[in-house]
Structure 1
């Protein structure tokens, strides 16, 4: 046998130096007494920098989320105290440059003459393994998402619908609808910021989702934020995230919606409800594509496409001083107006056909069509609640209908007749809000409140009630 090979086999240190796993040797005080080259490569720390020092303080001091990892909880140190072997699979080591990598390691006690003298930790970088596992999970999730998407799209394939525009749930053939779709197609392939304007219930979120689905970012997430839902104190945390301890209740670091939407599209619904302080931070993100989490100092860069929606007149808000002019111009790059249902009455039949299929699935019953009398009633109503009101009307009628032909029995026919005196939009809106308030027994907030049923923010509903002189029962 070659003499050099004999030396190699009889010198344990040479064997340890050749190992592909990182190896640390510790004395009973937790100080490093041995570090092999693989450990140096993985951590960036040279043996000369760590020998004689407590390694836990250098790259085992924090958990993956950045929270403190006390030395007395360290599995490696525990082995030196109780002499038990431990195998750990869910921790991270921190490199010299401040980055981290996932590790799996074994902590084994070392004995001499039956006396515990220290421990050895053998670890390996499992970044590639974790990346592969994550890629598999992402692929499975994507398959699930595609499966759900295909299942949903199948419900829109109705033989009765022969519209020029039939994209997802956006169906219609009326001139106002076609004009909107032409503009939508033009802007979808760009990264331009879109401001979707329209009354409540017109389908602004569907328009935003369609823009995203037709954009180059369609494989990335569309993240929605309803600016009217969160309290002002929590909205910035939702948008930008927060660090652990940033405020009472922030027990761990959390990513905000901007980070979640990185590479994709962020949809800010009810943008007119955004408080002025949050408007300033939003403007900075749009200008610089970067921000900091609440309580943090690290600058986070993002690449997003922004779509905003509102039922309010933002320019009027600018003049009133409740909306920033510079933010308004940032958002109003490509304004897109969604027509009210009363402006596209010709689309009622197509919308009904689509909604009947969805109702059949939801209620587990087959609805083939709607009676001509009912369809006529629907076409002769002003629909102050727009498509959302149409959906609710059809669902209530479907519950009451016994056969497969839908009949509108829920509302008094006089409300839909041509002979009825022409009412103003305000009158229709007042009647509809009053009816819903009565149904909710005057309750505005909450899951069963009038605001939820009407698709309005509670503050918006109260404003409308005051404007229309509606008293709560």
Structure 2
């Protein structure tokens, strides 16, 4: 099978969902894949050996001529530079046009430029979705201006609606995110949640599920960074008995468990390339095979993914598939960092303290005005997760019903020496804070061991000695 692909690489090019054109140095088409035919209406035999620019790239959307010497694809053939182009249209054979994004890449043989490859996709639906979102947000802003005098009442009402969700705040940037959640929740569209560690991306995912028609079905989470490349495939797709050493029984994967529900792929940027191709197939075809099985299984799932990484930068460096990126990036939602919504800190504190009262059996009434001012003066590199850790630590230490800050805030672990604590207690608090900032990931480049500057084995040893676990 591998030899078949190597002998005829056009098999792979013909299978992809993006349109692909190959050009010689004269600008004539030498390759046209089926996806390009479907999108443009032009058959390959009508274009091969001819200048495609004259057929569907000859003018702009408003009808203005688009001279060939300005065409970015042709420019690549002259200067050998890679280009990424947005905001243009391709014309179909029937005279209609569609919005397009494309890349133009030079092709070399024996270090000599011999042509170029253009890969393009129809972004009409994406632009329609984005415009609908802009229109909806403009309407929200208009209503917000009209009802400014009733602002306090509206904020209180909205917070009451979302109180049980864990998503609370009154800042404009936060309310913009809530409107995005409400717009996309009723659909089955794939959502990509972007944001720093500790901002609450999983909470957003759970609320997308809660507000959807799938809310009574399963919400299944997979942390893509928590498994090795060899185990991740089994975790996602399941395996048959005897599929590999240690596979002593049949096991359903997360895709099967999420059937008719929602699958949340956290830290999607950590997904190995091999698993990325298999995930793409499930998103496109809604089918997969368990490890060790040839039986194809169908699933009906909604996928929500989250990452704190720049996926487009990973695409450009070859670490993330461009076709998977486009499949996931249908409706991106950015969760703002806490430093951009400091006015929400009083509401967040109230919500977090209510949770702490239940969990710790406390009867805390709130946070002092002085402490709120200190919290709002801090930049929160660990975001809401760090705020939660600070409040929990103060709740444990406090003998009063209104919390004060017993320790100045400091970047990283938010700790300074305290004569009331011995060395082990200070170490324990520091390690707990860093683990929380790392989402309890110990190993890897984003793990707590690296941030603490110690080997993974040393950190695990200290955790055992100091009785640190996720329930600490």
Q: Same fold (TM over 0.5)?
A: yes
Is 1:162 aligned to residue 156 of structure 2? yes
Question: 1:138 matched to which residue of 2?
Answer: none
Question: 2:18 matched to which residue of 1?
Answer: none
Question: 1:256 matched to which residue of 2?
Answer: 253
Is 1:226 aligned to residue 210 of structure 2? no
Question: 2:390 touches 2:414 (CA, 8 Å); kept in 1?
Answer: no
- How far is the alpha carbon of 1:460 from its aligned partner? 3.7
For 1:395-406, list aligned pairs within 5 A. Answer: 395-406=392-403
d(CA) in 1 for partners of 2:215, 2:288: 24
Any idea what the Cα deviations from partners look like across 1:157-182, whole Å, max 9, x if unmatched?
A: xx9x9263442100111011001011
- How far is the alpha carbon of 1:456 from its aligned partner? 6.0
Any idea what the Cα deviations from partners look like across 1:72-110, whole Å, max 9, x if unmatched?
A: xxxxxxxxxxxxxxxxxxxxxxxxxxxxxxxxxxxxxxx
Question: 1:195 touches 1:335 (CA, 8 Å); kept in 2?
Answer: yes
- How far is the alpha carbon of 1:275 from its aligned partner? 0.6
Gaps of 5+ in 1: 1-158, 416-427
- How far is the alpha carbon of 1:450 from its aligned partner? 3.9
Question: 2:385 touches 2:436 (CA, 8 Å); kept in 1?
Answer: no
- How far is the alpha carbon of 1:432 from its aligned partner? 6.1
For 1:62-461, list aligned pairs within 5 A. Answer: 162=156, 164-165=158-159, 166-167=161-162, 168-409=165-406, 411-412=407-408, 428=411, 450-455=434-439, 457=441, 458-461=443-446
- How far is the alpha carbon of 1:351 from its aligned partner? 0.5
- How far is the alpha carbon of 1:408 from its aligned partner? 1.2
- How far is the alpha carbon of 1:338 from its aligned partner? 0.1
Larger Cα Rg: Structure 1 or Structure 2? 1
TM-score by length of 2: 0.58
* Cα pair distance change 1:339/1:163, threshold 3 Å: farther
d(CA) in 2 for partners of 1:272, 1:312: 6
Gaps of 5+ in 2: 1-152, 418-424, 456-472
**How many residues in Structure 1 have an aligned counterpart in Structure 2?**
292
Secondary structure in 2 aligned to 1:192?
coil
Any idea what the Cα deviations from partners look like across 1:180-238, whole Å, max 9, x if unmatched?
A: 01111110010100000000000000000000000011111110000011111110001
- How far is the alpha carbon of 1:323 from its aligned partner? 0.7
- How far is the alpha carbon of 1:464 from its aligned partner? 11
d(CA) in 2 for partners of 1:333, 1:323: 16
Secondary structure in 1 aligned to 2:444?
helix
TM-score by length of 1: 0.58
Question: 2:385 touches 2:437 (CA, 8 Å); kept in 1?
Answer: no
Secondary structure in 2 aligned to 1:408?
coil
Secondary structure in 2 aligned to 1:351?
helix
* Cα pair distance change 1:325/1:434, threshold 3 Å: farther
Any idea what the Cα deviations from partners look like across 1:345-384, whole Å, max 9, x if unmatched?
A: 0100000001111111111110012111111111111000
d(CA) in 2 for partners of 1:391, 1:449: 10
Q: What do you get for the CA RMSD once the two structures are aligned?
A: 2.9
